[in-house]
Amino acid sequence: MLAALHFAACRVTRRCRLAEGLALNLTNNRPDGQRAPLREHVASSVRRYLRDLDGCDTDDLYSTTLRELEIPLFAEVLKHCDGNQSRAAALLGIHRATLRKKLRDYGLTA
């Protein structure tokens, strides 16, 4: 699963946000010592999930994948922001009400 997210600080606005085009990296045991971008970890997980289906069909892959990504993403960002939902929403680039609704939907509210 997602081990960590690395955020670039935007010094101009003094807000933390993802820089456009930033390749998010997670530690990896690649022989060349390079780190794999986050998208490679996601692609690997999706391939493993599809392989594990073993011929069974699914009709909700998108919603399943989105849920499986959002739950740890929200949990880790909230932890990073010491539980401050306004700060977490700003970091995620979504409205605070949207974050609160998704947290409620996923049962992540305190």
Specify the higher pLDDT residue, 9 or 109.
Answer: 109
CATH of residue 67: 1.10.10.60
Whether residue 60 is contained in a domain is answered as: yes
Domain count, the chain: 1
Question: Structure pTM?
Answer: 0.65
Whether residue 110 is contained in a domain is answered as: no
pLDDT in tens, 52-76: 998 888 889 999 999 999 999 999 9
Whether residue 2 is contained in a domain is answered as: no
Whether residue 88 is contained in a domain is answered as: yes
What pLDDT is stored for residue 58 in this prediction? Answer: 86
**Cα distance between residue 36 and residue 26, in whole Å:** 6
What pLDDT is stored for residue 15 in this prediction? Answer: 38
Residue 17 has pLDDT above 80, yes or no: no
Q: Domain range for residue 79?
A: 8-105
Whether residue 48 is contained in a domain is answered as: yes
Residue 5 has pLDDT above 60, yes or no: no
Whether residue 96 is contained in a domain is answered as: yes
**Cα distance between residue 96 and residue 15, in whole Å:** 16
